[in-house]
Structures are given as structure tokens and as C-alpha cells.
Amino acid sequence: MNLAIRDVRHNLGRFALTAVGLGLLLMIVMGMGGIYKGIEEDAVLLIDELDADIWIVQNETRGPFAELSRLASSVEDRAWTVPGVSNARRFITHTVQREHQGRSIRISIVGLSWPGDQGHWLPIISGRTLSQGHFEMVADQTLGLAVGERVTLGKDSYRVVGVTQNMISSGGDGLAFLTVSDALAVQFDSTGEATRLERAARQGRAEHTDLVQSQPGMLERASLPAGMIPALGSSTVSAIMVNLKPGVDPARVQSVMEGWADVTVYTAEDQRQLLLQGPVDRARRQIGLFRVLLVAISAIIMSLILYTMTLDKVHDIALLKLMGAKDRVVIGLVLQEAFLLGGIAYGIAYLIGERLFPFFPRRVIVTTDMLIWLAFAVAVICVVGSLLGIRKAMSVSPNEVLS
């Protein structure tokens, strides 16, 4: 190692710049793996936190986390009647983008089934959970909303009563928790003019029906709010979450619910797999490809640097051979420099990444397994990258010391 250290000291500036550049490259490789892990964690975050045993969604859909799902809220009452069910609650989610205090915020709204679910399971870092059925909100800290701040959504103003940490949707948007009724009001909000035009169109359609001709009073009902007209359906939710009693077989309850023609039933694990095998899997493959390319680029860069450093000391290598140094001494010189360069670059990547990753817009989760994988990749890069330099060193003749 003494020969390698002396050579590094002789070319300290170039060696240091190379280590920093390679370290930044390895930091990107580490960050990409952490970004995928963050995407994966965010995708299944709500499924894990809500802790439902069974998800009832719209028929022939994959659930609210994968696509649009609309389900009659009355399915909740149906779920309660199934033997083995201990709890059933409504769930709704949708995303809105609004202007707030001169800036644009994108909010992924989650409706909690008030009053059964007040959000006590949320990781609150300041404030409290929901304590009333309307006009309160618990928001994630990534939205930049403080406790006591008011946000206008639709025709109503909602006061932030609590702030959570790391509650992110699969799309990277901060989550905001309202009651189901408030979430529905935001989702189906429309302007006064749109409501007037919709009622006028409803009256126009009614005027051309034979039933209205015989019962003129029905024409007046056409101008009523949609919720007051019996012929129109009730409000829809994204899903119904079901919890089972201890010891109950989920497959048996699921088979009963699958007999309902208007729904599709999934277990919590089914929902997780649908997410991980869908858009998350595509992100995994794309990030994985970039990681492979960056590792290959790192190996090429190290090969060129080590080859250049070997060329600079051809005279020294020839002198070593003339003095009787064995091949393993020369090979060890190149390998030691390679591992020294890789080790320093790995340390730089870890230290810089640890300080920069918290400022990324998406969560970057670097696990121990990921660090071990990267250390193994760096070792392979060091060996592969030194091959070109070793080949050149082995081809040096002792006679070149005289040239």
C-alpha cells in the first residue's frame, strides 16, 4: 500500500478531483435507488396506515389508488350485514390544485369516515386530529400549511387543525384529510352558473316526457337540488374499507361480497400488489436501467483514470521490474489505487447524499441493503476498472527505464 499512497500523494490534485467526481456519480446511483424506495413506500403508505382487511371498490376496477373508482355509499350498510365484519367505513380520495396565498398547491384529499374515523392513526407532529364533522383539515407538512391557517376549497373555507409528517400520495402530492362529506363537497363543487344550467337542462328534458305532461307538478321538482330528487342516485365514494373480527377467515367474507354484481373485492395485500405491479413497477424498471448505465459509466471513468495514472508511471514500473519486483507487486499497486479511489468515492457519496437527499421534492429512502449493494458494485467497478491499467503495467518492459 506504501507505493500506492506515495503515487497518490504525487498526483493528489487529480486523484482528489477524480474521487469527488466519482463520488457524485455514486451519489446519484444511491439516490436513484432511494427515490424508487420512496415511491414504493408512498404508494402503499395509505393502504398500510388505514389497516383495512378488505377493500370494496367499483366493479371491474383495480381500486382508488390505481384508477378512478366510484361506489354507492350505501354499500357500507351492505358490508355491515356480512357475518364476521367488525367495522366498515367509507373512503374517498381525489386530487385538486388551487391557488393559496399567491402560490399553487396540489393537494391529494383523503376523506375520513366521520365520526368513526377521526384520524387518530395519523402521525401528527403539531396540532390535533379532526374534532368536528365539517370545515377542518389535517394537512401534511409538504403542503406548507400551518396550524390555524385557512384554505379555500370550493365554496367553503377549511381550517388546518393538524400537520402530519411523510403522508405523501403515490403521485408525490401532500395528503390532506377531511371528513368524507367535506371531501365529497370539494370533489363535486361547481359554480352557481353551472348548477343553474344543469337544472335548466333537467327541466328541458322533463318537458318532453309523457309523465310530466300528465303530472305537471313533477316539472317543479326538476329544479330542486340533486340530493332532494329521489330518482337520482346517492353520493358516491371511492371505496369501502372493511375490518374483520378476530379469527374470521378473510376468504370466506370475500367470497360473500364477491357475489354482489356491482363491486370488486380485494384484500389489503391485493391492493398493495396492484400498485407495486402497475405504475410503481414501471418506475422501478426505468430507475433500474439508469442505475445500470451509471454504474457502467463509473467503471469506464475509473478505467480511463487508472489507465492514465499507469501511463504516467511507466518509467517507475519499468524501474521496479528492473529491480526484480514481482508481477504481483505491480498488480497490487494498480489494484490498491483503484480500491482507494473507490472507497473515498463511496464515502463522499454517502456523506453528501445524507445531507442533500432530505431536500429532494420526493422522499429518498436509503436502506442498509442498498448501501451494501452499492459497496459491492463499487468493489466490482474497482476490479473491472483496474484491468486496463493492469494490462498496460504488465506490458511494460524493464528496458523502458533507459528510454
SS3 106: strand
| Residue reference for cell 459509466 | 297
Rounded CA gap, 256 and 170, in Å?
31
Neighbours of 271 (CB within 10 A): 24
User: Hey, which residues does 237 pair with through a beta bridge?
Assistant: 71
pLDDT value at residue 190: 66
Spell out the alpha helix ranges (H) of 313-326. Answer: 314-322
pLDDT value at residue 177: 94
* Set of cell numbers at residue 116: 368513526
Cα first-last separation, the chain = 27
Give me the phi and psi of 147, to 5 degrees please. Answer: -60, 130
pLDDT value at residue 228: 46
Residue 402's identity, in one-letter code, is L
| Residue reference for cell 404508494 | 43
Task: Show the 3-state SS of 140-157.
Answer: EHHHCCCCCCEEEECCEE
For residues 326-344, one letter each, b for 16 or more C-beta atoms within 10 angstroms of the residue's C-beta and e for the rest, the string is eeeebeebbbbbbbbbbeb
Residue 60: exposure state from Cβ atoms within 10 A (0-12, 13-18, ≥19):
exposed
* pTM over the 0.75 mark: no
Rounded CA gap, 350 and 29, in Å?
11
Per-run averaged pLDDT (10 residues), the chain, 403 residues: 62 79 88 86 84 90 82 88 91 88 89 86 92 92 91 90 89 89 83 66 62 54 53 72 90 90 89 80 81 81 76 70 73 80 90 90 87 88 79 71 58
